[in-house]
Structure 1
């Protein structure tokens, strides 16, 4: 698709409830439209009354579910009116107006439409037949085609079972069989689990069964304070090794961003942010005193661009920048009226080894990217080549990581900020380190007391020997089936890209064990990454007594019926996975705080990313974990929402670098 087709209008996204109006009014009006039914003789028609009672129940459940869903969606992703072309950021970070697009994990595009379908209640209330289906009723493959075997929970072919497997639960024997069935469309197939026994009125696992599995999973996913302290100690050792040795798994990359901003930086700057989902182009006007104005446009990245030829990806970046410049600075004749020496900061949120601030060789793709012929190449040179090809008259001043930008931009408005972290599609951290504590760059001749931002790239922690992180069999499966097996072990346990898949693998294990969804078609659940982390967020946010939001999610996205014990299990599973991610995240923060001596006096940690900003109770769980690790001193380590690191941070670093080069400081880097 062309650039124009992928461009997105900037929107303002906030958190909160409210509204809902016309849709809920129409839904709820069904309750008041039902009148008592009487026969001509004046007696009550009980059959009609039962029908109307069912209608009222349907309307009530439907209204409740829709209301809860709307509220939950607003808590997670709530678009408001499009942002003005230029937005001013107040001095304080807490009340800053955010210009933030939908981030790392997105709500399924069919979520609002399918749950508001007028036929949702029919599929919700209809039960699958417990009798063996007749041959004429059962889907069948054509006679000239062999049966299709679909993948199981871990992506391995499921063995065909003609006679089934007999297992016991309580005093009743059950027979479970698996087979592939045609789904009607060419190339689609699914797995159908059936069970036959003398009591057909219990198609689901009991509350007792679910409680047993909850207790088992609590032991698997729970991190004790003692275990977290052990992880922190190992993390500190890893950070020290990364500072001393080049080529370590956690590379501790020197960024050549020297010191924090003073807050008096002024002037116009450009920023290009190549993120995991979107490309963003920004014009930032720094006004000093922690104030700035930002104008931005976003362009959706396609899967073809993420996995295709690398130079074409950078061509797309240059084309979008050219389009943005013509919109902002072009005259009627198409000429650009640019300010003199306007500097460009390029935010590239993937690990690069840098020898100076305007150069960087990509170590490895992360966040699901796999563009060809980019790894082991200088991404700045590739981008410059594309800029020249598209005749964009801009000088690229600085290559930065989004986490480094988060650290710098947040310090610009909150001088107490000492660490920047991101918990979104991936995870990472940055902080300021004395040059004298970075042995691997001693030959550069930089002053030992100078401060330089370090891009940790800590997602690779414990990726080599797997000695410290409490990896489960589900984490191992995710690693082995990922596009980068053996890498990013820490990231794969806490990042938003993977939490939904952990949830799915646990669910599929219980399906294969004959615990969940017997007698129902589970082919949609068995598709890898069928659950994204937004689903877990919504499941955790469901506060209805019968967990109706969970009901709707499973009914409409997977066509699966659930009972209250099963829905309670799913909510508890989401809590366990989300809590473990938050507590592991706290271990990384605690390691930097311990290493730098921030524990006694406390510090502010600028935190960004969709997981931190959108996932229920994620910040609170980080704070609880810090107290578990450090005791009462942990309360002095405060995380707060970060400023725009990839846009504003990039512009600030471009400003600082431009000024440093003008003053002749460390010109060789």
Structure 2
């Protein structure tokens, strides 16, 4: 809901109206985006592919809820490295977990590949010493590698491109597993990588472990992505493997790359500026409009533009040098603005004073609030297009979607705005009872990078015991 009023100067009201025109996405446009999205998902499964990679994961079943064993999991995210010990118990869908987080230092993201893998191996070794002591047998590991990767086997990950601010030379186009295992071997870390898992695949598997109604897993965080279960008969690019048509395969969509061609997404000048200044211009078009890494930057660019190039000339006479620093504002900054409960937006004023050394006046505060609302609302509505596209492609009239990530979990109104967009796209009638569940309900996911990765490792080992070796391991790793 807009919080500005006609008491604002006309020039600011004009700027607000212009921003509303730039960022608003009506129902007709949502449907257009969704149907193109569904076509692109299908294209990605074809022999020739498309912008959306639609990566087979070689996760070929849902958990039963009766998986057991002790597993290590490693989650290499954009901000933190998380190591977990997950014990799947005899009780259906129950587990115990111990975890430690390690900061992913910024210099690692653009440094030398060997330094990255050495740091990760050191963190694993530290965790094992703390919680395991001396280990005689290698512990199975599920490695959550949340970057677009081609997998011909479940213990392989050929990096297609870095995302989430990473830009390390010599890794794209190569399998990251041998690099990682070399660092483990050098340090004598007693770990055996059993499965490489995308965080979205993990979210799907972990959520389905707790809730059989879950058919889609999503991440709305630093990046954005989705996974769902496809029939191999609908994956032409796997036809040469002669898998039974009704064989299941979890597909890691990597839908952040949707519409790299610029056909349907309503990009603003600010989106174009972010793309041009990114390490990979022309890539991850969808992600750059909806993911947490970029929301604060969109807001920052708008504020600088309104100060420098518009008649409104906001923050007149003030030093905005802090505001000029690229990526100095994150999605949490926008969330704090939207969460400000005060009528005079005093919390937002304090936030600007503390973080940016800027003191907005009352009309400027209302402009700030409305801008944050527009950016957050657009992200939620666009995200719903991807969920709707998978649902349309698969013919899901009802299902649960397990969603994870900081934007979904913490950004105000994200879930409600996305649900409203789904309602518009899929033409659901208005609810008679406000407490009634939507036909397709997006719910908080279970721990995908921890429990999900452990479950994928457990499912992989079970398939090896069953002798079902399709895409499980490289032949040299069978023993």
TM-score, normalised relative to structure 1? 0.67
Q: SS of 2:333's equivalent? A: helix
SS of alignment partner, residue 96 of structure 2: strand
Match of 2:320 among 503, 506, 522: 522
Q: Is residue 655 from structure 1 mapped to residue 458 from structure 2 by the alignment?
A: yes
**CA contact 1:661–1:667 (8 Å) conserved in 2:** no
Distance 2:107 2:48 in 1: 33
Q: Which runs of structure 2 are paired with 1:45-194 in the superposition (5 Å)?
A: none
Unaligned runs of 5+ in 1: 1-204
1:578-597 Cα distance to aligned partner (Å, 9 max, x none) = 00000000000000011111
Match of 1:79 in 2: none
- Partner of residue 83, structure 1: none
Deviation of the 1:312 alpha carbon: 1.8
Between the aligned partners of 1:643 and 1:497, the Cα distance in structure 2 is 22
Contact 2:353 2:359 in 1 (8 A): yes
Distance 1:249 1:305 in 2: 28
Matches within 5 A, 1:547-566: 547-566=345-364
Residue among 62, 67, 72 paired with 1:270? 72
Which residue number corresponds to residue 311 of structure 1? 114
Measure, in 2, the Cα distance between the counterparts of 1:256 and 1:633. Answer: 38
Matched residue, 1:631? 427
Counterpart contact for 2:159–2:176, Cα < 8 Å: yes
Q: Please give the secondary structure, in 2, of the residue aligned with 1:632.
A: coil
Unmatched 5+ stretches in structure 2 = 1-6, 431-437, 473-479
Are 2:214 and 1:417 aligned? Answer: yes
- Cα distance in 2 for partners of 1:505, 1:256 equals 41
The answer on 1:498 being equivalent to 2:294 is: yes
Deviation digits for residues 190-212 of structure 1, max 9, x if unmatched? xxxxxxxxxxxxxxx95322211
* Aligned-pair CA distance for 1:393: 2.5
Is contact 1:446–1:666 with CA below 8 Å preserved after alignment? no
Of stretches 208-217 and 406-415 in structure 1, the one that deviates more from structure 2 is: 208-217
Following TM superposition, by how much is the alpha carbon of 1:479 offset from its aligned partner in structure 2, in angstroms? 0.2
Q: Where does residue 213 of structure 1 map in the other structure?
A: 15
- Is residue 2:409 matched to residue 1:606? no
Alignment of 1:394 onto 2:196: no
The SS at the match of 2:52 is: coil
Kept in 2, the 8 Å contact 1:243–1:440? The answer is yes
Q: Does the 8 Å contact 2:58/2:471 carry over to 1?
A: no
Q: Secondary structure at the match of 1:257?
A: coil
Q: Secondary structure at the match of 2:428?
A: helix
Larger radius of gyration: 1
Are 2:242 and 1:242 equivalent residues in the alignment? no
Q: How does 1:562-577 map to 2 (within 5 A)?
A: 562-577=360-375
3-state secondary structure, aligned to 2:238: helix
Which SS does the other structure have where 2:43 is aligned? helix
Separation in 1, partners of 2:76, 2:355 = 31
C-alpha separation between the residues in 2 aligned to 1:416 and 1:208?
51
Q: Is 1:336 the equivalent of 2:139? A: no
SS at match of 2:426: helix
1:509 maps to 2:305: yes
Distance 1:227 1:379 in 2: 39
Of residues 333, 340, 357, the one that matches 1:535 is: 333
Residue deviations 1:527-557 (CA, integer Å, cap 9, x gap): 2122221111011111211110111112222
2:83, 2:271 → 1: CA distance? 36
Does the Cα contact within 8 Å between 2:152 and 2:471 map onto a contact in 1? no
Cα shift at 1:507: 1.0
Assess if the C-alpha contact under 8 Å between 1:603 and 1:637 holds in 2: yes
Cα 1:552–1:668 shift into 2, 3 Å: closer
Q: Please give the root-mean-square deviation of Cα atoms over the aligned residues, in Å.
A: 1.4
Distance in structure 2 (CA, Å) of the matches to 1:372 and 1:474? 28
Structure 2: distance between partners of 1:583 and 1:347: 28
Q: TM-score, normalised by structure 2?
A: 0.93
Question: Cα distance, 1:445 vs. partner?
Answer: 2.5
Q: Which has the higher contact order (CA 8 A, sep 6+)?
A: 2
SS of residue paired to 2:443: strand
Q: Which residue of 2 aligns with 1:482?
A: 278
Q: Which residue of the other structure, out of 468, 473, 479, is the alignment partner of 1:665?
A: 468
Aligned to 1:428: 225
Which among 264, 268, 272 is matched to residue 472 of structure 1? 268
